[in-house]
Chain A
Amino acid sequence: MINRNSRNTLRFLTRFHHHQHNPSSQFTSKTVFDENCKQLKRNVLPTENKAFNFFNPLTNFFKNKQLGHGISCGILQKCYYGSMGGAVQRSSRFSELNDDDVRYFEEILGKKNVVQDEDKLSVANIDWMHKYKGSSKLILQPCNTDQVSQILKYCNSRCLAVVPQGGNTGLVGGSVPVFDEVIVSLSSMNNIISFDKVSGILVCEAGCILENIMSFLDNEGFIMPLDLGAKGSCQIGGNVSTNAGGLRLVRYGSLHGNVLGVEAVLANGTVLDMLKTLRKDNTGYDLKHLFIGSEGSLGIVTKVSILTPPKLSSVNVALLACKDYSCCQKLLQEAKRKLGEILSAFEFLDGQSMDLVTNHLEGARNPFSTSHHNFYVLIETTGSDESSDKQKLEAFLLGSMENELIADGVLAQDINQASTFWRIREGISEALMKAGAVYKYDVSIPVENLYNLVEEMRSRLGDAANVIGYGHLGDGNLHLNVSVSQYDEKILSQIEPFVYEWTSKKRGSISAEHGVGLMKANEIFYSQSHETVQMMASIKNLMDPNHILNPYKVLPHSITS
């Protein structure tokens, strides 16, 4: 096939996986789903026959029909739910939705934006990991802040529980209903309001998809200070509400530093306009920080103003192989010193993660195909001078090799190779989903102890599970994942509360960046003192006295019920 336009040929054939991540396309249509659920009900083991509200799938039906970009659309017939679901009871303080409510919403939003369609509901009720399933009957799609305000004012007066939802890519069950909460989707509010080319300050609505913002900024010569694997689907409102970390935190810092202003709507409909575009503003209490990371439990974020760094021309990515974890640590120290200001990402993954990705992800291959290594480190540098950055990086890498910190390494020679390396790191979550069920933990521990948790978990579980560890080594953040063929209470009891206790003993955080959501709401005491949590509860009672915003999440049930 002689294709005259080689650029397009290349783009079609050498798939550019890096930017494709559309978890919502993994959901099945309603009929297939119900079919599976009926089948699952028949196959439930006697031991699982408790008064719990969750299924235990036994078979992983997975037709391997992927569409080129690593997305399996509609054919991924997995449905697992697990963990917390059954232990929570629906609170009696919340009313049930009735037709009058629906009519009222139709009046303020228009019929088109009031969704009761079963297919759309089944998608919105399940989280990305297929772990949590709600039973909401209504999705509302407001188009502006005023509508959000009216919705909340009404729900507050009627005591209707509400779940704000963005891209639904959260990993702790925080973005889906637990029971029949009304879903308020921010997806329609996706306008970029303004961008200042001199300061790099961007103002946009909460429903803008991160990747779309990145494309817009790319045109202007800027980049977003955060980057994560879910960028194709996640929305900036959700990122801000969960204080998302991501791959560039080691260089640009957290959202608490980059978000300059927030517009949020409180539970009673009050609109708090804190949408400043100023770098410095010390006037009173800086309330926007309450909304950054509170996971929608204190208010719905409707607009964000964020400081974006300029796009620098020289980006270099290297993938390195290390023989043990202490080499990775020393490499981090050296990198911070030798690469200094140009270091923009420092990620690590263990040999088991690499195997998982190469086995389950289409098109992913191990650059070190001839040898097996125990650890891999991905380093990215971003600077303004191509030749000097490359020299710096090469000198650092060759020096590290001479000092035996690295066993081997590859340096990306073009953007495509760089994307392939990133795909390996960013694709681990996807590969885990394809491999079966996964128990996912995200902890922050002092760097020297980071990998010990993985090794201890591995020896605890033995052959029962594939334990992998990877994460943002530059920030001391480990993503511990236990991959099993199906969810199993026995395995879970070996993992929890051990993992939380271990983390707590090292004075670490049980949730470095994923947030608390539903999954860890009752475990928050492992990382926060009782007094602190009591203060959080007081603030919650002040800002949302009826507790309609994202109930059952973030704070322990013992405190909020």
Chain B
Amino acid sequence: MKIMVTVKRVIDYAVKIRVKPDKTGVVTQNVKMSMNPFCEIALEEALRIRESGLASEVVAVSMGPSQCVDTLRTGLAMGADRGIHVEANDSMYPLFVAKILKKLVEIEKPGLLILGKQAIDDDCNQTGQMVAGLLNWPQGTFASKVVLDKEKQVATVDREVDDGIETLCLNLPAVITTDLRLNQPRYATLPNIMKAKSKPIKKFTPKELNVDIKPDLEIVEVTEPPKRKSGVLVSSVDELIEKLKHEANVI
């Protein structure tokens, strides 16, 4: 069985984000970019499934400008077998990613599609769900545990939901999106980095896949959230009550 994993190139999560002065977006020039942390977890899970013998191949997919190849190389250095780069210079909104993934799935025919639950740049949390809908595949999102049963061709997924943990049983092929506590991703070791250099990366364009990615969303404005005001030390209970009444308006 083949596993397809999507990896997204985003601003490194440890970087302090700054909004561009013209408010059209955030500053990405000279800023460190890395693989989306949830995508790392997704890839790690796929690698573990392959290592346990339940899958034969892990294919990493990334969409975007040419620098996405760096992210794919990281994925290959972690252990993925092949990479696919869909080259596109426009913003990749979840619906386009989902449509392109559908086409790739039709070409590659994986038994499992694993994505990170959301990307840390747009926090959309939509791609996994959309692609499952387009493919009409079952989905297990916010996975904190995944157990595969090859004979029965099902995946048992523990999901982290607001009420607690929900366990679902999905028939394969299925879509799984990963949450933080699923696993701890491995490091890229030097022997693997060396091997990654010879692993193939196939290129596609949205046109070749017959997907129209003209944006139907327009970003109007990007601003910083209002700065948190500093606290005030009150000197007596009366003053506290007065402030709660008149300033905070809570009593």
Contact = CB atoms under 8 A, between A and B. Distances in A.
Interface of A: 1-2, 4-7, 9-11, 13-14, 16, 218, 313-315, 320, 367, 386-387, 394, 397-398, 401, 406, 408-417, 419
B13 A410 contact: no
A24 B61 CA distance: 48
B194 interface: yes
B188 A10 contact: no
Contacts of B30: 313
27 contacts: A2-B162, A4-B123, A4-B125, A7-B120, A10-B13, A10-B120, A11-B13, A313-B31, A313-B32, A315-B32, A320-B190, A367-B187, A386-B32, A387-B70, A397-B190, A411-B77, A411-B187, A411-B190, A413-B34, A413-B77, A414-B14, A414-B34, A414-B37, A416-B13, A416-B14, A416-B37, A419-B14
B38 interface: yes
A376 B190 CA distance: 14
A414 B11 CA distance: 10
Given A2-B161, A398-B194, A415 B118 contact: no
A415 B15 contact: yes
B190 A401 contact: yes
Contacts of A14: 37, 180
Interface string B133-146: 00000000010000
B191 A408 contact: yes
Nearest to A397: B190
Contact of B187 (A6, A13, A218, A410): A410
Contacts of B57: none
Interface of B: 12-16, 30-32, 34-35, 37-38, 70, 74, 77, 117-118, 120, 123, 125, 142, 160-162, 180, 187-191, 193-194
B104 to A, nearest CB: 24
Nearest to B180: A13
A550 to B, nearest CB: 36
A415 B120 CA distance: 15
B101 to A, nearest CB: 20
B251 to A, nearest CB: 29
Contact of B189 (A4, A16, A315, A410): A410
A16 B190 contact: no
Nearest to A313: B30
Given A5-B123, A7-B13, A9-B180, A417 B190 contact: no
Contacts of B31: 313
A409 B189 contact: yes
B65 to A, nearest CB: 14
Contacts of B189: 408-410
B190 A409 contact: yes
Contact of A401 (B120, B187, B194): B194
Contacts of A6: 37-38, 117-118, 120, 123
